[in-house]
Amino acid sequence: MDTLRRQEFVKVVKDFTSMASIYLSDDVEAAIRDIAARENIPMARTMYDCILQDLSLAREMKRPICQDTGVIQYFADVGTGFPYLDDIGEVLRDAAVAATLETPLRPNVVEPLGEHNTGNNAGYGAPYIEYDLVPGSTDLRLRMYMAGGGCSLPGRSKVLMPLEGVKGIKDFVYRTIVDWGVNACPPLCIGIGLGTCAATSAMLSKKALLRPIGTHSEYPEVAKLEDELKEGLNSLGIAPLGFGGSNSVLSVNIEAAAHHPATLGVGITTGCWATRKGEIVIHKDLSYEIISHAHALENC
């Protein structure tokens, strides 16, 4: 890849990363506005007024929505015909560093165990990059997530005995959110993964969190569980910001995979009201479309 192409590629990802720290994705903002409009409890209404004012100030000042801009994570669905496959890792790292300096983003990355802050949000294994190959495509579909501290705290993964079934899944989710959810600045986006082991369930839960709000699992039983959990979690009365209110979650998305008959893995990933995520499709000529923020960008 020649130098000019590389600079162009870095700039596209840098601007996309920076944008997602300043503007909520269309689905998250619409979900917040929806539950704010339906809230009747005075303290909760005050909290939503603060959140909406924060969104408008971030937009006006071109500054991140929250001081904790997280640890940057990229999920790259790479077409096998995308011409810059070998360069993606370095480009994403350079883009994360450039976005950190220019936006600016808070430098959060500390090296493993030594806890030395690298000062630029890059480090050993950071930004985190997960690759999936897409046969027959020449595009790079890139999803980005900013994993904040508080919203990452409730994350859990556990392997249940299979006979625990739906009741076991619900108990695990409710206990986790009751004990830890308030740390994650509710109302929450909840991603749940169902699989065989702790690792696959955890990764599926992150993919569930990244799925747009309002979409459902294509498996009817799983889609039904999404609705039941959302109703149950909303009845807890935690939100917003833990001051009590009519709704505690913005979404419950579940990604499920067929599993071993002797195990039922459940993973939970939580996102806060300021869930910063984005999705962009970059073509082989480096032209691109931002999928997640079409409405936000129209109004900026």
Q: Provide the binding-site residues for ligand SF4, judged by CB under 6 A.
A: 66, 68, 148-151, 184-185, 272, 274
Contact 248, 177 (CB under 8 A): yes
What is the closest distance, in whole angstroms, from the C-beta atom of residue 61 to ligand SF4 in the complex?
Answer: 17
Tokens describing residue 235 = 């009845």
Q: Provide the 10 A C-beta neighbour count for residue 110.
A: 14
Q: Which residue lies nearer to ligand SF4 by CB, 7 or 117?
A: 117
Q: Which residue lies nearer to ligand SF4 by CB, 21 or 201?
A: 21
Residue number with the smallest Cβ distance to ligand SF4: 148
Q: Which residue lies nearer to ligand SF4 by CB, 21 or 217?
A: 21
Q: Which residue lies nearer to ligand SF4 by CB, 10 or 274?
A: 274
Q: Which residue lies nearer to ligand SF4 by CB, 148 or 245?
A: 148
Q: Which residue lies nearer to ligand SF4 by CB, 185 or 264?
A: 185
What is the closest distance, in whole angstroms, from the C-beta atom of residue 103 to ligand SF4 in the complex?
Answer: 15
What is the closest distance, in whole angstroms, from the C-beta atom of residue 66 to ligand SF4 in the complex?
Answer: 3
What is the closest distance, in whole angstroms, from the C-beta atom of residue 69 to ligand SF4 in the complex?
Answer: 8
What is the closest distance, in whole angstroms, from the C-beta atom of residue 269 to ligand SF4 in the complex?
Answer: 13
Give the neighbor-by-neighbor strand order of the sheet with 249-256.
156-160, 264-271, 188-195, 249-256
Q: Which residue lies nearer to ligand SF4 by CB, 151 or 282?
A: 151
33-71 b/e with 16+ CB inside 10 Å = b? eebbeebeeeebeebbeebeeebeebbeeeebbbebbbb
What is the closest distance, in whole angstroms, from the C-beta atom of residue 185 to ligand SF4 in the complex?
Answer: 3
What is the closest distance, in whole angstroms, from the C-beta atom of residue 21 to ligand SF4 in the complex?
Answer: 10
Q: Which residue lies nearer to ligand SF4 by CB, 78 or 151?
A: 151
Contact 64, 21 (CB under 8 A): yes
What is the closest distance, in whole angstroms, from the C-beta atom of residue 157 to ligand SF4 in the complex?
Answer: 19
